[in-house]
Amino acid sequence: SDFYGEYCVGFTFKLFSVRISHNNMTDCETLNPYNLETLKPQIKRFGYQFYYLPEIPSTMILAEDYIRAGNEQAAVFLTDHQTQGRGREDRVWLDKPGGSILVTAVLGIKDSTISTFADLVALHTALILRSVPLIDNVCIKYPNDLVIGDKKVGGILAVNNYDDGLQYLGTSVGIGVNVHYSADELAGYPTDYEATALDLHTPKKINSRQLILAALLEPLRFLVVDAETFSNAEQQQRLNNMWRDISSVLGRKVRVRADGESLVEGRVVDTQIGEGILVEGSLRTEWFNQFNTKMKVRLLD
């Protein structure tokens, strides 16, 4: 049988669709490795230069090198395994070969829109993952984690790159999603909190990294325009409502920390795209944004 999901992204109301076919698939090995003969031209049709290596230190490192070399064309860097995978604030991202979607896209944005752009990418990614059969509870744990039942299934990392004179060069946005893992495998990785994978919530045979990857990358470039035009009140309200609905922290008690120190404990009373989370503490109510402070958010309930 086929699953067909769709949703509208951005101010253009462009319709994107995800089709996951699991006819004749016997196990997850049929989904790996990537079929580069079909994937490469597909990604190029989306408007990207495409680079794939089975194993590399980090897709983010390659993307930043590409940007600093003066390349201005949009590009995608894909791998099956990272030996020096990187998360926010240089935290380590661990994976097993062939177990995850590990991709970084290089795009040119208006650099001041990075906070809005990063949140739109997170929203887009969560909605795509919710389009996978039997996965309807992927949420965003601000600032950049994707979770299922408070367990981390993926993450987003958006970084503006500048030259030595602080001239903007380009933006690299990394997306990581745990797909083919057992609970025992994930338990062996040191993490801030418990992790999960798509295979733990669906039959393994329906999770195609290639189909999910293509669904993630096709609309990504439209989000650049959405971030730059995030001032239309009607569309802003619509997307912020979607953002609130998909938040895993809204209405919950959290501790916000930065540089090892606790900034505030309180309840998240609002969250908005590009603005962060509004935390009501005992002494003050304050907005916290991932691009204004090196923050960590921990759930307390």
pLDDT digits (tens, 9 = 90+) for 11-37: 333 333 444 343 333 333 334 579 999
Q: What's the whole-number mean pLDDT along residues 85-91?
A: 63
Segment 256-286, tens digit of pLDDT: 988 778 889 999 999 999 999 999 999 999 9
Domain 2-228 fold is BirA Bifunctional Protein; domain 2 (3.30.930)
Say if residues 59 and 77 touch (Cβ distance below 8 Å): yes
CB 222 within 8 A of CB 13: no
pLDDT of residue 88: 57
Just give the CATH number of 250-299. 2.30.30
- Give the pLDDT confidence score for residue 119 in this predicted structure: 97
Residue type, 51: Y
pLDDT band at 93 (very low <50, low <70, confident <90, very high): confident
CA distances from 9 to 40, 58, 121, 164, 270 (A): 24, 29, 10, 35, 22
* Residue showing tokens 């293509």: 214
Residue 6 has pLDDT above 50, yes or no: no
pLDDT band at 154; cut points 50, 70, 90:
very high
Q: How far apart are CA 114 and CA 291, in angstroms?
A: 8
| Contact status, residue 114 vs residue 291, Cβ threshold 8 Å | yes
> Given the structure tokens 């600032």, which residue do they identify?
143
Residue 77, amino acid:
F
Report H helices in the chain.
36-45, 59-68, 114-130, 183-187, 209-217, 220-228, 233-245
What span, in angstroms and rounded, lies between the C-alpha atoms of 209 and 96? 14
Sign of the Cα torsion 284, 240, 262, 297 reads positive
Span 215-254, pLDDT tens digits: 999 989 999 999 998 888 888 999 999 999 999 999 999 9
Output the CA torsion sign for 238, 243, 246, 248.
negative
Domain boundaries, the chain: 2-228, 250-299
Average pLDDT across the chain, whole number = 86
Helix axes 233-245, 114-130, angle to 10 degrees: 50
Segment 106-126 mean pLDDT: 96
Does the structure show a pLDDT above 90 at 196? yes
The pLDDT of residue 161 is 96
Position 90 scores a pLDDT of 62
Among residues 78, 31, 85, the alpha carbon closest in space to that of 50 is found at 78
Question: What does pTM read for this prediction?
Answer: 0.88
Average confidence (pLDDT) over 154-175: 96
